[in-house]
Every structure is written in structure tokens, then in C-alpha cells.
Amino acid sequence: MNHRICAAAALALLAPLAGAQTTPQGSRDLPARSIPVPDTVSPQMQKLIGAPLTPTWNVIPKTAEEWKAQVSAGYEATMKSLPALREALGVKVEPITLDGVKAYMVTPSSIPPQNRNRLLVHVHGGCFVSFPGESGTAEAVYMAGIGGFRVISVDYRMPPDHPYPAALDDAITAWKAATRMAPPKNMAIFGSSAGGNLTLAMVLRAKQEKLALPAAIAPGTPMSDLTNAGDSFQTNAALDNVLVAPGANCDKRAALYIAGRDPKDPLLSPVYGDLRGFPPAILTTGTRDLLLSSTVRVHRKLRQAGVEAVLQVYEGQSHAHYYRDVSAPETREAFGEIAQFFDKHLAK
Amino acid sequence: MNHRICAAAALALLAPLAGAQTTPQGSRDLPARSIPVPDTVSPQMQKLIGAPLTPTWNVIPKTAEEWKAQVSAGYEATMKSLPALREALGVKVEPITLDGVKAYMVTPSSIPPQNRNRLLVHVHGGCFVSFPGESGTAEAVYMAGIGGFRVISVDYRMPPDHPYPAALDDAITAWKAATRMAPPKNMAIFGSSAGGNLTLAMVLRAKQEKLALPAAIAPGTPMSDLTNAGDSFQTNAALDNVLVAPGANCDKRAALYIAGRDPKDPLLSPVYGDLRGFPPAILTTGTRDLLLSSTVRVHRKLRQAGVEAVLQVYEGQSHAHYYRDVSAPETREAFGEIAQFFDKHLAK
């Protein structure tokens, strides 16, 4: 019960108390309650939804060294899980360098004919600070294995040593190098969370620099608004067991990336960008995702800009739950949808 | 403050208390809190989101006569608002009869050339009991006016006098008659809430009876699961200020429709139906919608059945908020998306 008590205590700090005199007009007062795990998802997803809150969701390191220690612990845990994931999906991962930027070539054991001349570029999540090196390749392994695509996963530089724009600079350098390995019309960019932010920011930067654009993008539950505007930051607080609540660990990591700049800069918060001319996009989120609003708001901005954009919202899922369990049917479904979308829009 | 206290009290009855011994494993305990109106929507939508709970959300009539009185009050209120809506959108509404079924022909003042030979069929919402007669035409007026389509709005029979399958029988009779007025490939069926349920059930029935199918459908926030399975029945309880919570007035109305049958029958809960062979579908909901799960679950079932199905989720909106204010940009956006989808899929 400890984590439950902690969550309730922390949330009480984050949200104004019901009935308080400062309650703004129109606020919805909700009583304390207990939300059960839904039975409308697979047993594997029920397990993820019923899991305790991320242990470090509100553990905030105080120094750069403490941040590195926390990131290192996450790195070690992820690295332990990757061999089994690669094995399950028949995928190999090899380090490469693209014009000085570190990356990984992620290759499935079998590539269907229509994907032989196609190439995807992946930018990983981790709130701009976590999952360095090979630990950032997990989502690329899912995409390569389930979709049958070759994927370049970019190991971009991160805070605390390298704030914005280092990650975006590296991602763009990798993109430029990758477009010499395959025709851009045969390529897509994808990534979730911070990787969804970077996917969108890469297209904004590529537009600015008049680079070739990919034929499609798949920003998953993108951190599209680093100002934390958006209804689901409030409505899904504490329901989402991954990010849990605004103002907590993930946002502190994002602050290291922003490093004092204006978070409303579209290259930091792409929802405020000019999205006209974007390639077709597929966005993925869940009903309990703290970034549900950050996802559906970008979807609407894309549609308002005349872009073909499709939205997938998975029942009961918290932030990026769709690549946590390789055995969950929802995982195959999510990457299957993205693969089908890419197949529709990428040249061969 | 009265409605707030009532809501909190009622919700406390509906949801197990946080930390109670009966809390099932994996349940998420949420503290009491106050959710502000988001600033990421238009001022008109902020007003709808900040409005008090539907006054009758948990006022449950005890007899058929009391139900009719409650329905009559809703009828009168809606009828008062319709002339201004028709005026704003330049739409006229005339009663018609289709093989004995009452309906309304809803015609915009201007029909663009591509829509001249097209015809839509509308089935209204109201939890299967409300909005009889002309009061059921509001959504049809929005669609006709914003999309520039001729619309037949079906005034189907309802409980307490006429439980299932009267409404569906009437809707199918109207559909058959309408397919003699235009080619089915030039036609679509749409409707929200109970109308979303009926839209889906009509296609299931048409498949069973080997009738012509429409070229597209637009089930809006469909009551697709009358068993009330679905995570958002819990997660969005009391956040949604229209339906508010499961087990309340709307569900009691649905129970009059079900009238003792198995609610898992696909013609009552279409999410359990065989959705293969369905026409392309566009589904609309909001992040605070009590039926968010009922919408995204049908979307997934359609995709799993190989059906082209697109999902629109609007920031902060409760149940069917997208046709409450003709001046809200989100209203034009929602019906504009549906019109564009119909234009893509309907023959001319």
C-alpha cells in the first residue's frame, strides 16, 4: 500500500483541493476514488495497467551526478531486458556512426520484399535525458521485428551535459546521412514520448533548412507541449502509472533539455509550430496517458494544417504502454498499424 | 456550489472509496481533486466544459408517466433552441413519412454540386428515450448546414412505450425507403450517442438482412457497450458533465430500451458484433467523454476487422459536446471532418 499512499499524498500537493476557495470557475470537483483495472484489454495489458507507479516518478536528483546515476540505473535495467526482446522478434542491433553521430542499425532477420529499399529513422524516448546508448533501441527493435523494416536508431546527445539543441542537431545530422542511404520518399521517422517530440521537431527543422522530408512520420504519445498545457495533464494525473503527474521527474528531465529557453519555441513544443506541409502522420496514445491531450492536440493541429493524420487511442493504456510487453496483442496491433500506415505512404 | 457537493456525494456512492479493503489488485487510488477548465480549447468550448452537471443526470423517474414528463421537458427546451440553430445554418426541416415511419427531411439552403445526388440518414441520440419528434433533428441540422448535405432524420419509436427492437426496426425501414431515393453508394448513416449505437446496429442488421450498405458511417461517441464495460466509465466519471457517471439517468433510459434482453446482444451492444464488411467509418469523441472507451474500443474492433476507420478525439470535450454550440470552432471542425470523410467515400 505504500506507493498508493505516496501517490495520493503527492497528488494532493499537485492539485488544488476540492472545494478550496481558490477553485477557478467551472472546475470539476472529484471525490477520492479507486479505479479498477479494466477487463476490456488483454491479460498482459491488465498487468501493465495494474502495475505500481514508476518507482522514480517523483524522485528528483539534485545534481548532474545524481541525474547520471539515475539514468545509469535505468540503462542497466533496460540493457538486461533487450537480449530477450531481440530474440523474441528476431532482430539484430549493431552500432554505427553517421557523420559523427552515434546510432544503431536495427535489422530484422527477414525483410519482406516491399521493405527492401525502405529505411526508418528512430528517435527514442526518455524525457530527453534517459536511455543512452543501446538502451534507447527498444522501440526500434519492436518496429523492426513487427514491421519488418530496417531501422536506424539515433543515440543523440542528452542533458545534463548536452541540453537543446544537441539532441535535435544530432537527429538532423543522422537524418541527412540516412537520406544518402535510401531515397527520402522510401523513409519514415518515428519515436515515442521525447522521441515523438523530436520526430515532430525534426520535420520542423527539415522544413526550415529545406531538407528532404520523410514520406511519413509516427510520433507516439509525443511530448508536444513542454509548457504542460493540455487537459489530460490534470485529468489523467495519477491514473497514468508511467509518468504519473505533471511537474514530476519527467518534467524535470525536460527542463534540463529546455535549459532556460522559451518552452513555447516550436522546436521545443511542436504543437505551436507551423505544421503545414508535414508528411502523413500516425499518432498513438492511450486513454489513461498523461499525454493524451498532447497527442490529440497535435492530431488536430495536423488536420487543421491539411495534413493526412490518423489517431490510434488504446483502451486503458498509460504513457507508451504499447511497447512494454512483446507478448501483448495490443503491442503487435500498435506497431502493425504503424507498419501498415508506412506501407501505404512509403515508396518502394 | 450545490451541484458540486451533489456530484461528489453521488460519485462517492458509485465508486469504491480509496483504500477500502475491497479494492481489487491493481486499482489506482486517486485523491479528491479539482480539475480546472483547460485553456487549450475555444472560449465557447471552455464555457461548455465549465458548465454545471446536467441537472437531471441522476434524477430517475419511477413510472412511465414520470419518464414521459422528463422527456417532455427536454423536448420543450430543445424545440425552443432549434429555430435559431436552423437560422444560423440556413437549414429547413420538414416532416415526412417513410413506409409508415416518421422522419424529417433536413435541407440546407445551398447544396454544393458534389452533394446534389447524395443523401444522409441520421439517427438521433438521447439514450434511446429522449428527443422525440422534431427535437431529435438538431444534429441533422448541424450536418446539413455545415456539410451541405440533404439529411433524413429518423423519428424512431422509443421507450417506455416501445422498447428494442422498435427503434432499430424503424431505422431499418427508413433506411430501406431512403435507398429508393438515392443510390446506397451515394449515402451515409450517422448519429451520436444512442444514435451512434443505432448507426452501428443498422449496419449489423443490414448485413443480416443482406440489404445494401451505406458508403460510409459516422457513429459519434456511440453507446456501443450497454453492459458498461470500458475504462472511461470509471476514469471519466464526474469529469464528463453531460452523462456524468455510469448507472445514472442515461443508463436507466438504456435499460428501458434493453427491456430485460441480454445487453451483450450485438444489436444492443455493437462492440460485440462481427464488424467485418462494414463501410468506412469516422468516429468522434472527447478526452472527458464518459464514452471515450466505448468509442475507441469500436474503432479498434473496426480496424481489427479490416475496416477503414478514423478516430477524432477532441480536447476536453465531454459526451457529444461537439454539437452544443454552433459558434464554437470545434463544432465546425467536427462536422467538417465528417463531411470531408463522406466526400471521400460517397459516390456522386
Tell me the mean pLDDT in the region A51-74.
Answer: 97
Q: Is A67 left (phi over 0), alpha (psi -120 to 50) or beta?
A: alpha
Identify all chain A residues contacting B303, using CB atoms and an 8 Å cutoff.
312, 333, 337
Q: Give Cα separations from B273 to B201, B203, B208, B212 (angstroms).
A: 9, 10, 11, 18
**Contact between B223 and B196 (Cβ < 8 Å):** yes
Mean pLDDT for A62-80 is: 98
Q: Are strands A119-123 and A187-192 parallel, antiparallel or unpaired?
A: parallel
Query: Does A227 contact B at CB distance below 8 Å?
Result: no
Residue from A267, A323, A277, A269 nearest A125 by CA: A323
Q: B24 pLDDT band (50/70/90 cuts)?
A: confident
Contact list, B238 vs chain A (CB under 8 Å): 28, 30-31
Predicted local distance difference test score (pLDDT) of residue B317: 98
| pLDDT confidence band for A22 (50 / 70 / 90) | low
3-state secondary structure of B200: helix
> Using the beta-carbon criterion (under 8 Å), do B293 and A315 form an inter-chain contact?
yes
What is chain B's length?
Answer: 348
How much is the pLDDT for A24? Answer: 82
Q: Is A8 on the interface with B (CB under 8 A)?
A: yes
Span between the terminal Cα atoms of chain A, in Å:
53
Pick from A1, A8, A47: CB nearest B31: A8
Is residue B13 pLDDT above 70, yes or no? no
Q: Read off the amino acid at residue A95.
A: P
Quick check: A280 contacting B, CB < 8 Å? no
At residue A16, the pLDDT reads 44
Q: What is the pLDDT of residues A200-221, one digit of tens each?
A: 999 999 999 999 999 999 999 9
pLDDT exceeds cutoff 50 at A1: no
At residue B18, the pLDDT reads: 42
Residues of B in contact with A303 (CB under 8 A): 333, 337
Bridge-partner residues for A83, per DSSP? none
**The C-alpha cell that represents B230 in the structure block:** 470500458
| Cβ count within 10 A of residue B46 | 18
Q: How confident is the model at residue B14, as a pLDDT?
A: 53
Residue boundaries of the structural domains of chain A: 65-345
Query: Does A269 contact chain B (CB < 8 Å)?
Result: no
Which residue, B99, B97, B103, B159, is CA-closest to B128? B159
A14 pLDDT band, cuts 50/70/90, is low
The answer to whether A200 touches A279, Cβ cutoff 8 Å, is: no
pLDDT category at A274 given cuts 50, 70, 90 is very high
User: Which H/E stretch holds residue A86?
Assistant: helix A64-89
A124-177 pLDDT per residue, tens = 999 999 999 999 999 999 999 999 999 999 999 999 999 999 999 999 999 999
ipTM of the complex: 0.95
Contacts of B198 (CB under 8 A, 6+ apart): B123, B156, B167, B168, B171, B191
Residue B264 scores a pLDDT above 50:
yes
3-class secondary-structure state, position B229: coil
**B181-198 per-position pLDDT tens digit:** 999 999 999 999 999 999
Rounded to an integer, what distance in angstroms lies between the CA atom of residue A317 and that of residue B150? 40
- When pLDDT is averaged across residues A244-261 and rounded to a whole number, the result is 98
Q: Does the beta carbon of B49 lie under 8 angstroms from any beta carbon of chain A?
A: yes
Instruction: Please state the φ and ψ torsions of residue A26, each to the nearest 5 degrees.
Output: 85, -5
Angle at the Cα of B200 from the Cα atoms of B194 and B201, rounded to 5 degrees: 85
Q: Does B241 touch chain A (CB under 8 A)?
A: yes
Average pLDDT over residues B6-30: 62
What's the rounded mean pLDDT across residues A107-112? Answer: 98
Looking at residues B167-181, what average pLDDT do you find? Answer: 98
Answer yes or no: is pLDDT of B172 > 70. yes
Residue B191 identity (one-letter amino acid): G
Cell numbers standing for residue B60: 430517475
Burial of A189 (0-12, 13-18, 19+ CB in 10 A): buried
Tell me what the mean pLDDT of segment A221-227 comes to.
98
Over residues B224-249, mean pLDDT: 98
Q: Residue B218 phi/psi, 5° resolution? A: -135, 80
Q: Is A38 on the interface with B (CB under 8 A)?
A: yes
Give the separation between CA A211 and CA A221, rounded to whole angstroms. 25
Q: Which of B32, B241, B299 sits opposite A32 (nearest CB)?
A: B32
**What integer pLDDT is reported at residue B86 of this predicted model?**
98
- Say what the pLDDT of residue B47 is: 98
pLDDT above 80 for B148: yes
Indicate if the pLDDT at residue A4 is higher than 50. Answer: no
Of the partner residues B7, B41, B231, the one whose CB lies closest to the CB of residue A40? B231
Which class for A154: exposed (0-12), middle (13-18), buried (19 or more C-beta within 10 A)?
A: buried
pTM of this structure: 0.95
Average pLDDT over residues B58-84: 98
What are the grid coordinates assigned to B201, written together? 446496429
In the predicted structure, residue A43 carries a pLDDT above the cut 70: yes
Query: Are the beta carbons of B150 and B106 closer than 8 angstroms?
Result: yes
Cβ distance A38 to B236 less than 8 Å, yes or no, reads no
- Put simply, the answer to whether B25 touches A37 (Cβ < 8 Å) is yes
State yes or no: pLDDT of B8 exceeds 60: no
To which residue does cell 503527492 refer? A10
User: pLDDT band at residue A2, thresholds of 50, 70 and 90?
Assistant: very low
> Do A19 and B40 lie within an 8 Å CB cutoff?
no
Q: For residues B40 and A297, is the Cβ–Cβ distance under 8 A?
A: yes
Closest C-alpha among A335, A332, A237 to residue A292: A237
Contact between A341 and A280 under an 8 Å Cβ cutoff? The reply is yes
Res. A341: pLDDT tops 90 = yes
pLDDT at residue B64 greater than cutoff 70: yes
Fold of A65-345: Rossmann fold (3.40.50)
Task: Kindly indicate the confidence band of residue B66, based on its pLDDT and cuts at 50, 70 and 90.
Answer: very high
* Mean of the per-residue pLDDT values of chain A: 95
pLDDT-derived band at B152 (thresholds 50, 70, 90) equals: very high
Dist CA B348 CA B346 (whole Å): 6
For residues A12 and B47, the model is more confident at B47
What's the confidence (pLDDT) of residue B334? 98
Nearest to B312 by CA among B333, B343, B342: B333
**What single DSSP character describes residue B27?**
P
% of chain A beyond a pLDDT of 90: 93
In this predicted structure, the answer to whether residue B62 has a pLDDT above a threshold of 80 is yes
* Chain A residues 309-348 within an 8 A CB cutoff of chain B: 310-316, 333, 337
* pLDDT of the residue at B58: 96
Residues of chain B numbered 52-71 and touching chain A (CB < 8 Å): none
Whether chain B has a CB inside 8 Å of the CB on A238: the answer is: yes
The CA distance from B80 to B85, in Å, is 10
- Are B300 and A315 contacting, i.e. CB atoms less than 8 angstroms apart? yes
Mean pLDDT of chain B: 95
Asked if the bond preceding B160 is cis, omega within 30° of 0, the reply is yes
Coil, helix or strand for A151? Answer: strand
- For B149-158, what is the mean pLDDT? 98
Alpha-carbon gap, residue B33 to A279, rounded angstroms? 40
Name B119's bridge partners: B187
Rounded to 5°, the CA angle B151-B293-B264 comes to 80
- Band (pLDDT 50/70/90 cuts) for residue B135 is very high
pLDDT at position B19: 44
In this prediction, residues A284-308 reach a mean pLDDT of: 98
**CB of A44 less than 8 A from some CB of B:** no
Average pLDDT over residues B31-48: 97
pLDDT at B37: 98
Does B5 score more than 80 pLDDT?
Answer: no
Residues of B in Cβ contact (< 8 Å) with A25: 37, 50
Residue B16 binned pLDDT confidence (cut-offs 50, 70, 90): very low
**Whole-angstrom distance, CA of residue B240 vs CA of residue B246:** 11
Q: Which CATH class is domain B58-345?
A: alpha beta
Question: Is B10 a residue whose pLDDT tops 80?
Answer: no
CA-angle at A272, arms to A271 and A278, nearest 5°? 65
Residue A6's pLDDT is: 46
